[in-house]
Structure formats: C-alpha cells, structure tokens
Structure 1
Amino acid sequence: MSPRVERSSPPYIQVTDHYRSQIQDGVLAEGDRLPAVTAIAREWGIAHATAAKAIQQLQVEGLITTSPRGSFVAAQSARATSPVDRLVRARRTGSSAAADEHHIVMAAGLVTPPSYVADLLDLEPGAQVVRREWVSLEGKLPRALTVTWYPAYMADPVPTLLSTDNGDVRHLTAQLDAAAGPIKRGRDFYHARGADRREANALGLPVGSAILAGAWLLWSGADDLVEYGETCLPPRSTVSYPYEVPGEVTEGDTL
C-alpha cells in the first residue's frame, strides 16, 4: 500500500519522518539509495518542491548525502538515537533497537544511588534504585555508553530491569512504557565535553576525546519520574528528532 499524506503536520515533515524512521530503524542501511524526488512526489501525491524539501531536511540532519547520482544514507558515524527515538520505535515495533543494533550489558542491579539521582527520584536517605549500564553497537562500532536509573519498585512489574541478558535491552523500553502507564513526557539535555577513562574505554577512544554527553528524564501519565538516564556518544554523532512548539506566547507568559 502506498503511503498517504495526513493533515496533522506539513506534508514534507511527514515524508521526512517516514524516511528518518527507516534510516534510524535500520530498514535503510548505510549507502542505500533513496527514491528520486520525482518518485517520492508521485508515490506520496505531493508537489515536486515538497518532496525536495523533505530530502533537504534529511540532508540537514546528516542522515543522507546527496550527489548528482542521487541521495544515499549517510555513514553510521553520523547518526545517533535519542531517548524519544527509542521510545517511539519501541511503541511502533516492540523493540527500542535498530535492526543492526545490539548491546553489551555491563551491570544491572539494585544499588544505593548518588545523591543527585536520589534527589531526582525523590527518595528517602538509604533507599535503593535499579541501575543499568550498557554499550550500544552497530556491528563492531560502539555508538553509545548508557546508564539508566529507576525507582526500585519498578523491578516488580518489569523484572527485565535486573537482567544482564544482552538481548533484553531491546524490549526494555516497551515493557517500561507499558508498566508505567505509559510514558507521557520527557526532557533531554546535551553538552559536549572530554571523555573520562571509563567512557573512553567503552567507546574505543583516547581519554579526553570530544564526546556528546546527554541526560534525560521520563515521566508517566501519573507524573511519576520513571527513568533517569545518562549517555555519551562518540565524535561526529548527530542527534535529531522532531518536536512541536506550544502556542503563541501572550502577555504575562514567562519563558
């Protein structure tokens, strides 16, 4: 069945979202050629200029490269997965991982958290949390080192939280989303810095190499903080995801 444009967002955004998902999910692999602009316009029933704008957006995001021969999926080193990418993919496919992505779990268990994590999760002194740490890879290429923290009570409805099975990481986001009720909102933070020894070893980099460090928080519909995560990405990683901007700011509103 041919794709059809919906009216909830601009047509070029819908086309961009479609191909972005295929690239991030691994359906389109590095070096694969995208359809020509003319073919996209015909398939989606949109203007040639609209299809061209969608391709331009993918190029801006670093997901494709364009030449006189056509548009091709960019090298893996240019792409990275954001927290919202994993959540949306888990809801769409049941797995948070791309087709060519796998994980090495280095730790999963109940621990006493550092004070800043305890404060974020609003825990009493001495309370424990679930801590997980893993490396994500595409083939043999390290893509991210990730640590996530969860309230201890989440280990009952989601026993996978305490699993060190490498394959369990793929389905953890979907299980967490279902058990928490589901996830309704989140917030991401990113900053660039040098890699410490632990991060450099995990990503195969010299100590002090430039990395993109991120953190995120996910809340359930009941407004409970369900997950706090930290990740670091190797150089030349591009994080890209769509978002909607709230309505116009009126007098008396603060930013």
Structure 2
Amino acid sequence: MFYLTGKVALVTGGASGIGLAISKTFAKQGANVQILELNYELAKQVADDIKNEGGLAEAHAIDISKQSEVISLIDSISAKYKIDILVNNAGIAHVGKADTTQEADFDRLLNVNVKGVYNCLFATIPHLKKSGGGVILNMVSIAATVGIPDRFAYSTTKGAVYSMTLSVAKDYLADNIRCNSISPARVHTPFVDGFISKNYPGQEAEMFEKLSKTQPIGRMAKPEEIGAMALYLCSDEAGFVTGCDYLIDGGFEKLNN
C-alpha cells in the first residue's frame, strides 16, 4: 500500500524541513521526485542523497514567485516526464501583527506563499489535464483557521492557500485531479531552531520546551509525520479524497482550552 512507483512528483521547497521529509518519503516509496528549490546546491545535495540510497530524484533551481520561471521549468519537466503529483510546500514565515507588519514584508509573503502556489498551479494543471489527471497537495497551517499570536501576514497567506485548495478541488473534478491540503501545528525543523536561537538567545532550551507544550500532545511534530500524511494523500489509496484539509496538530485546534 501507498507505493508511488512510476509516478513523478514535483515538490517545491523539497530540500529542507517538511519538504525534505516529503521528498525522501516519496522517493522511498518509488516516486521520481523533482525537487524545486530556490537554493539549487541544497536541492542537488538532497537529490544526490536520494540517488545514493537507490531512489530517483532531480534538483531544479526556481523562484516560485516568478511565473515565467515556473512555467518554463514545469514545461521542461513535462517534456521529459508525465507529471502525476504537485506538492506546493515552499513558503516563508513572518512575525508581526497587523499594525507592525511592514508593507514590504506583507508583499514578500504574498509573492511566495500565495502567488508562488498560484504560479505552480497555473503551470502544472494544464499538464495534469492533458495526461488524464493527477494529485495536488498544498501545505497550509493551523494558522489558516486558528488565531495565532503575531502571525498576521503568515496566517493571511495560509488562509488563502486553504481556500485555493477548495477551489481547485471543485474546478477540476471532471479532469480527475484531486486537491487536498495539510495543516500542521508546530513542526520541529531547522527553521524552528533558527527562529528560537535568533529571537531568544540564551533561552533556547526553555523556549523549545515552551513551544513544544503549546500542543496538547506535549511535543512538536516530526517532519516525517507530515511526510507520511502527504504520502497517503498523494497515493492511489486516497483516490476518494479531495477538497479536504487534514490537521496534524497534536490536538492544538480541538483540545486547547
């Protein structure tokens, strides 16, 4: 069950954090993983690691906020392979409230987290339609539906991607394209460690423990746990699942008082 043998998967931001876990999980289950990253050297290292372990992977440099770049790259991949899966994982974060978020930061998050997802959808969906269907998975966040302190711009963008998921799922039912999303709570990635060390120097262990305990389950998620959910949603076993958002939040949304 849950094998992706013979399938080609595009994973944006597929060389770090959650994206890295998805790339490795998909490759382990037989997918040919096309890693789309701003940092090409990092993507190449991950692709090389996957190939050294017997998997299939290729690295591509891309700025998903630039539509012409996205179209050109995805068209070139499609000329070589039949694309089966698109995982819109790449995204950036920001700390701030509505009155402390500067216009430049707001625009930057919109360009990557919203326009970047749109660009990948715009470029990939025609190929999925032409080849008879496929799967799209968007990475959202509990911030899309739960009030998170100091995450105004980030929450705004993730709310947009949540709505995009529903829209795409509805619009392409007849084209055999499924679209779902995952909404994690805090996941222990290098980004989290960097955020803590930058904002709470000397208090790293204390803050890590505090942030971990904001999940009722008492810890942060592991990237591999998100990867496992992504694998299910992109597998043939999830063929009856579309237009759904899946919480992986350690009980954050339903069990917090």
What TM-score results when the alignment is normalised by the length of structure 2? 0.28
- Which structure has the higher relative contact order (CA within 8 Å, separation 6+)? 2
What TM-score results when the alignment is normalised by the length of structure 1? 0.28
Q: 1 or 2, which has the higher strand percentage?
A: 1
